[in-house]
Structures are given as structure tokens and as C-alpha cells.
Chain A
Amino acid sequence: MNMVVRQTFPTSLSVIALTVAGLICLPLLFIGYLALSADPSVWGRLWDTRIPELLLNTGALALGVSIGTLLLGVSLAWLVVRYEFVGRSVWEWALVLPLAMPTYVLAYLYTYLLGAGGPVEHLWQWWAGPEARVLSPYSFTGATLVMTLDTFPFVYLLTRAALLNVNVSFEEVARACGASRLSVWRRVTLPLLRPAIVAGLSLVILYVVSDFGAVSLLRYQTFTYAVYQQVTGRYDQTAAAVLSLLLVFFALIFLITERWFRRRSRFYQTTGRYRTSPRQPCGPLGATLITAYLALVLGASFGIPAWLLIQWTVSATAEGAVDARFFGFVWNSVALSGLAATAAVLIGTPLAYLANRWPSKLNVACLQAAYAGYVLPGPVGALAILILASHLIPFWYGTVLVLIIAYVVHFLPAGLQTMEPALQQITPNLEEASRSLGLGTFRTLRHVTLPLVKGGFIAAWVLMFLQCIKELPATLLLRPVGFDTLAVRVWLEASEEYFQLAAPSALLIVIVALPALLLLVSKDWRAA
């Protein structure tokens, strides 16, 4: 009897899991099919006109932002971990705040700050004469600056955690071997931090190449922006599919290289005990310099933008911009994100449960397939679903349902990452104990498994909900006509340079993102 239950229960779930995994992989497969079956002339034309430029632009942006975040992230982590000065612990915590600011919000604020007639230009002309110009935000430098300021906390967070875990004995023994401080840093500390720095940089690079919001507002031609233009401007789905496939291809190559590098440079802690390095106290001059540097970085990446948003929100509210229409957008965002997060948890549960409890090849493959959303940069995934929906289910195309599917495909990997550990924490013995006490499979699930995994699943739901609120490219491409969300409003108003009108929505997005950010960071904080 028991055998029968064990057999049929997973089988019925397996069917669900297989269906879901298939649905999730379908867009990617379809894009591949469309691109590879395209007329060679399409490839040729794209190769002659767009691809070299896009490759160069995307690569240059990734490289520029990597260098920027490397310098900022490592130096900031070093200062807050190795030095003691007034307010150190506040700075240590505040430096993650830029992550709460979606790239399109920061980009839109910088088009104002650096734009012609903007405050930075005023300041510069006051100092350097009326003819002086500042760098344009609509340039490689502008895009690099905005993306660097937005993503350096990835490198900062990982480097900080690694620095806290560096055993000070390594540095002491190196000095006993006669190495100077600089040489210790170059030959011991830096190599020990390298895996963490590389992990941080690879997050940054994936973030940059899949970003749509900032590059589109700064009109900087990368693959994601080009894909969007092919679809919306030229209605050329085949060309968009070709560009998408190329981007997925490069993302995959990058991921594989990164994984290979990480495996190669994995260091083993050779000892059980470690002592952390004591913080070096700073004199008044040192403390002032460090604080000035931290204030400059945090002011540019979060302080000034947030202050601007608040100012504009206040003046926009006074002018009556926060009206019933605005609350309509809020409702759209919340309802859509809530539905998507709920759907993702429901869909993710059987996948994660099966792969962790009955890790057969098929079940694990289904779970792996769900993670495929990772290699699909946001706009590409959205495009894939757009094309697929317009071919297969035209009667649903342009409905909220398609948008929710896009959200689920895109954010399920992040949700699964939170759900899986929750499931892994409970031993199968608990379920077996429940079964031995006479509860059936579904009652066991209801009374034992679900109460235990509830916390992890709620965290996953919150995480996906908040990411849906921020989501831009898929919403832009797939939303029903006239159905705008907060993110879409920010982008639309900012594209038209209605800076004040964009502010209330942007501020709301930032405020909503803060608790999720703290939730995520506090987990790492304790671990380190």
C-alpha cells in the first residue's frame, strides 16, 4: 500500500513539474528556433549593420562598469572593515542602499543632474566659466557612471564578507617573512579576496548586460536596448530573435567561464580557528578624508538622488499629480506583482519539492530547467514570450495573463533559491514520522511540511513580489493597452523628461524596495 502511495503521488506531481519546466523552457527554445531558422540574409544584414557596434558597446559598458565597481567596492569594503572612525558601522550598513534604486530611476535622475542646464553644469560653469560643459549623460561615460553607482554594492558586499573572513595570521606570517605592508596586500590579502571579488564582478556584469532601464533612458545602444527597438520600432521579430540568441549565447559563455574560474580558484580554509584583523584607529585627518570619500560615493549613488525624488514628489503632490490615476497605477503594480508572486510560489513548490525529495534525473532536470530563466536577460525573456504568445495563443496576447507568465519565468529562479533551502532544512524523517502516525500524503504535507517551510516560502513570495514591482522591460512590451504600472510610468515620464511627474512613482518603488534589501542583506550580515 505504502509503495503504491509513494509511486502515484510523485507521478502526479511529476506531470505538473514536467509541464511547468517545459513551459518555462519553451520561450528560450522558440527564440532559438526562430533565430536559427531565419533567412541567412537577416543574419548578414545584422552582422553588417548592428552586431559589431552592439558587441563593442555592451562589452565596453561591462568592462567600464567592472573597473568602476572594482575600485569603489574593494576600496569601500577595505575602509569600513580595516579602519575605525566615527560612524563607521552606519556607513558600513548604508553603503548597500544604492541597491534599492532601480537602474532606470538612477538613470532618469542623472539625465537631469548631468543634463544641459542641470545643477552639475551650473556648478561647473560657475567655477570654470560660462562656456564649460560637463560630460553628457547620453554617452558611454554617462551609462558607465550610472551603472557603476548602482551596482558597486555587489562587489562591496562580497568583498566585505570575504575581508571579515580573512585570517589575520596569513598577513602576520607574511610580515614575519619580511614582506612590506604593500607586498602583503598584493601577495596575500588580494589573492585571498580574489574569489569574492570575481563573484561580485560577475554579478555586476550579468546585471549590466541584461539591464534595459538605464541604457534605454540614456540612449546607449546595447543588445537589450536593440532587441527592444527591433520589436517596438521596426516590428522585426526575427531580427530581435537573432540579437537575443546572441546575447543568451554570450551570457552562457560568460557563466560557464565564471564557473570554471571559480572552481579553479576555490580556496580551502586550512584551519579551523581564525582571528580577524583589528581595526586600525584613524586620526582626525584620516577620519575626515575617509568620511568625505564615503559621503561622496553614497551621496552620488543614493543621497542626492533620494533627496531629489523627495523634493519632486512634494512639489508634484502640491500640483495634484498624486491623484486617482496615480493610485490606479499603484493598484496595477500591486495586483500584478501579487498574482505573479503567488503563481510563482505555487509553480515552484512541486519543482523544488520533487527535486529535493525524489532527486531522480527527470525531477532534477525539471528544476534545472526552471533556473533557465537566469540566462534569459529580462528583455529577451519578455520578447520570447511576446513572440510565442502572438504565435500560439493570439487570443491571450495583450492580456495580463501573458505578463504574469513572463514575470514567473523571469523571477522563479530567484524565488527557488529561497524556497529550496527551506525545503532542504526539514529532514524526510519528519514526513515519515507523520506517515507512520497514520496521516496520508496530503495531510502530511498540510500539517507537517507546509508549516515548516512557511517562513522560507513567504520570504520567496516577498522577494518575487518586490522584484515584479520594479520590473520594467517585460511590462513595457507585454502590458495590455493603457495598463500602466509604477515602473512603466517612471520610464514613460522620464523618457519625456517630465522629471517631477516621474518622482512619486519612483520614490514609492525605492521605499518598497528598502525592506526587501534589508531582508536580503541581513542574512549575509550575520553569516559574515
Chain B
Amino acid sequence: MSTGQQQRTLSDAALRLAEERSRPTVLELRKVGCAYEKGRPAIADMSFSVREGEILCLLGPSGCGKTTTLRAIAGFEPVSAGAIYLAGRLVSSPDTLVPTEQRHVGMVFQEYALFPHLRVIENVAFGLQHLPADQRKAQVRTMLDMVGLTELERRYPHELSGGQQQRVALARALVQKPVVLLLDEPFSSLDPDMTGKMREDLRDLLMHTKTTAVLVTHDHEEAFAMADRIAVLNNGCLEQFDTPEAIYHTPATPFVADFVGQADFIPGLVENGTVMTEIGEFPNQVGYQEGTKVVVMIRPDDVHIEPSDHCTARILARQFRGSENLYTIGLPSGHVVHSSESSTSVYPVGTPVELQVIATHTVLFEQDHPRKPKG
């Protein structure tokens, strides 16, 4: 992909974002904290907002507090600090806890939690008891039609496949036209072969129904595929809140850099206004002072290798991944970088190679303060 093309995609994303920014905010968390309770990770100082129709992913490793955040939004978890607003209404604060049933949120659990004693059609109609029967029936029919389950409406949950169960759970939540749809790891109980298709279907469905959604996942690929914006969480704190592209290309912290894809960190020194490293010079974009010790984040797709006899870097290993070859390159200093090459470029281990680093963004972190974000 040429630099020009990349610039255009990024500006497209910026345009899209500007359009989205004009939409009203549906969900807002202001400095939310949940007190520590045994078995549940605490969260602290969590602030972000979701606009109408937007899909937000809460991304992070297990125990980072992403599910706690989701449950706080749903009203299952009281907050000990801050405030949560749903459609402009205060629903959670240390003094307020609007019960879940009055929040108009839709919830899809990791294991779907379909009522085993009710048929598909009864499961979907569960939240519509307040409607007259004919209206209820019509809405359920439309919903089942939309998720393609009309044929299976008389079945019980145990007679459905995992994917079908997920669609019932979605239909049950969406038929209530929730203010925000909350999804807790919706793909983790599915066969990995199916998740690609299911992701596409889910995204289409959410777009089609103009549903605002918050989705919890530990899988960055899932977050990239689904999200308009991603909140990366670690140890109960928000590390970065941005578009998937920005999260990948300009991570705010080394943790984010490492969590959303393979990254190598090469040490360097700021000299004469540029960053000098063993694999070349990089622009000192953020203006570190002369003599600052920094690390440069390098992604495998930024590094290209050419066999070259007079070079000191050597191939240490090759991992064939079908669509690409991932090379591990040993540098003379002992540091390691990875390079992603086309699946047909096969070089034996031990080959001396020349490195070409083509990065559109240079991501630098200070060596001594690896957690201090600069980018």
C-alpha cells in the first residue's frame, strides 16, 4: 500500500469521524470507579462516551476490568466514584443506581443465557410483555425475519447451534430497541471457523438497525473488525480511546502497542534532532530533548528484508502463516525485530539480510518512563 493510499484511507476515517461527532452522545462515563470486591477487578477513573449508532469495543486482557465496566453500564455493578449517563439521564453514581430493568439496555451474554424453558419465539418476546399481543407478535416476526430465524421459531435453545443461539440472543435484545446494546465477548463461545462470518453479520445487523453498541473483547482483531472506536483497558484503567486505525498505528502506550499487534521496541538516542537507532534514523516527531534515550516501536509490516551478503542482521527463524511469512531477525546488538514478507518470499534461516523500515508513523516512547504516552 502506497503512502498516498494510506493517507487517503486515514483522511476518510477522519471524515467519517467528523460526521459521527455531530451525532448525539448516548452513553457517557465520567471518571467512573468501581470499588474492589473479591473476584471482580476494580476500575478507576474511567471516562469515555459513545455516540448514537457507534460501535465501541472495550479491549483488554482478562482481568482488566472490561466486563466490570460493561456490568456497571448495565446496572449490575454499583459504582463507587464518578457517574454514568444513558441518553442524557444519570443512571449510576455513588448515590444513584437505576435498576437494570429501567435502563433500556440490551444485553447479550458470553454464553447467551437463552431461557431453556422457552421456545425461540418466546425468548425473543420476553421483554415485550407490555405490548398488546398483535403488536408484540408483529415485532417479534420482523426481528426473527431480520436475523433469519423464522424457520426455527418453535425450537428450544438446546436444539440450536451456537451461531443460531447467538442470533436469538441478539434478536431478544434488539427487539426492545435498546438505548445501547451491551455484548460480553459475543464470539468467544463460537467455533473459530464461524466467527469471521458472524462478525460481518453482526456488524451489518447493528448498522441496519442503527444500534449503538458496546462490545467487550480480548481479541484485537475482533475489535478492529467490529469497532468504530476502541477503548483499550489495562489494570482497571483506560489506556487509550481512539479509532482502530489510530490504536494500531499510533498507540499511546507500549502496552497498547504490544496488545493490538506484534511490536518490537528498538532503543535509540535523540541526536541532532533525529532518533538514531541500529536500524536507521527516525524523525523526532514529538520533540524529545537532545540526548533522550527512547525506544522506537516497529511493526512487522513496517520492516522489509532483502538478502544481502555484507549485512550483519541475520534471519533467526521463519514462521509460515499461509498469507505471509513472519521472519525473526537478529540484530548485531542482540535485539530482535520481526518482518512480514509475502508468502512466496522464502529465505533459509541464517541468511544475512538488509532491513528497510518504511513507517508512515514513528511511534516513540521514553526508555526510562515506558508508561508515559508520547506518539
Task: Convert B187-211 into 0s and 1s, putting 1 for each residue whose CB lies closer than 8 angstroms to a CB of A.
Answer: 0010000000000000000000000
Contact B158 A270 (CB under 8 A): yes
Stretch from B14-22, B113-121, B279-287, B322-330 forming part of the interface with A: B113-121
Q: B99 contacts which chain A residues (CB < 8 A)?
A: 175
| Nearest neighbor of A271 in chain B, beta-carbon distance | B111
> How many residues of chain B get a CB closer than 8 Å to chain A's CBs?
35
Chain B residues in 8 Å Cβ range of A178: 101-102, 104, 127, 130, 176
Which chain B residues lie closer than 8 Å to A268 at the CB level?
116, 156-158
Residues of A with C-beta under 8 A to B172:
173, 177
B165 surroundings in chain A (CB, below 8 A)? 270
Beta-carbon contacts of B87-119 to A below 8 Å, as 1s and 0s? 000000000000111111111011111111110
Asked if A180 is an interface residue, CB under 8 A from chain B, the answer is yes
Q: Known: A172-B74, A175-B101, A176-B105. Is A269-B116 also a contact (CB below 8 A)? A: yes
* A183 cross-chain contacts in B, Cβ below 8 A: 129
5 A-B pairs in the complex with CB atoms less than 8 angstroms apart: A172-B76, A172-B100, A176-B100, A271-B189, A272-B111
Please tell me if the beta carbons of A173 and B109 are within 8 angstroms of each other in the complex: yes
Chain B CB within 10 Å, residue with most, of A169, A176, A265, A268: A176
**Is the CB–CB distance between A173 and B117 below 8 Å?**
no
Q: How far does the alpha carbon of A121 sit from the alpha carbon of B110 in the complex, in Å? A: 59
Contacts A176-B101, A270-B157, A271-B189 given; does A191 touch B117 at CB 8 Å: yes
A interface bracket (residues with beta carbon within 8 Å of B) = 20 to 34
CA distance A170 to B103 in the complex (A): 17
What's the least CB distance linking B242 to chain A, in Å?
A: 28
**Contact indicator B126/A174 (Cβ below 8 Å):** yes
- CB-CB contacts of A174-203 with B at 8 A, as 1s and 0s? 111111100100011001101000000000
Contacts A176-B100, A176-B101 given: A170-B113 contact, CB under 8 Å?
yes
Q: Are A192 and B117 in contact (CB under 8 A)?
A: yes
Residues 293-336 of chain A: 1 if any B CB is under 8 Å from the residue's CB, otherwise 0? Answer: 00000000000000000000000000000000000000000000
Extra contacts, 18 of them, besides A175-B99, A179-B126, A187-B126 (Cβ < 8 A), are A167-B113, A172-B74, A173-B107, A173-B109, A173-B169, A176-B107, A177-B126, A177-B172, A178-B102, A178-B104, A179-B127, A192-B115, A194-B117, A265-B117, A267-B116, A270-B112, A270-B114, A272-B189
Find the B residue at minimum CB distance from A192: B117
Most buried by B among A169, A170, A175: A175
Shortest A168–chain B CB gap in Å is 9
Q: Top 3 nearest A-B pairs by Cβ distance? A: A177-B127, A271-B111, A268-B158
B173 CB-CB contact with A under 8 Å: yes
In the bound complex, CA of A267 to CA of B114 (Å): 12
Would you list which residues of chain A between 272 and 294 have a CB under 8 Å from chain B? Answer: 272-274
State whether B127 touches A271 (Cβ < 8 A).
no
Complex contacts, A179 vs chain B, CB 8 Å: 101, 126-127, 129
Q: How far does the Cβ of B176 sit from chain A's closest Cβ, in whole Å?
A: 6
Instruction: Indicate with 1 or 0, residue by residue over A67-95, a CB within 8 angstroms of chain B CB atoms.
Output: 00000000000000000000000000000
- In the complex, what's the smallest C-beta–C-beta distance from A188 to chain B, in angstroms? 6
Q: Which residues of A contact B101 (CB under 8 A)?
A: 175-180
Query: Across the interface, which residues of A come within 8 angstroms of B173, CB to CB?
Result: 176-177
Tell me which of B74, B111, B117, B129 contacts A267 (CB under 8 A).
Answer: B117
User: Is the beta-carbon distance between B107 and A170 smaller than 8 angstroms?
Assistant: no
Chain B residues near A169 (CB-CB < 8 A): 109, 111, 113
| A172 to B, closest residue via Cβ | B76
Q: Mark B209-221, 1 if CB is under 8 A from A, else 0.
A: 0000000000000
Give Cα A267 to B115, complex, Å: 9
In the assembly, what is the distance between CA of A273 and CA of B109, in Å? 11
The minimal Cβ–Cβ distance linking A481 to chain B, given in whole angstroms, is 57
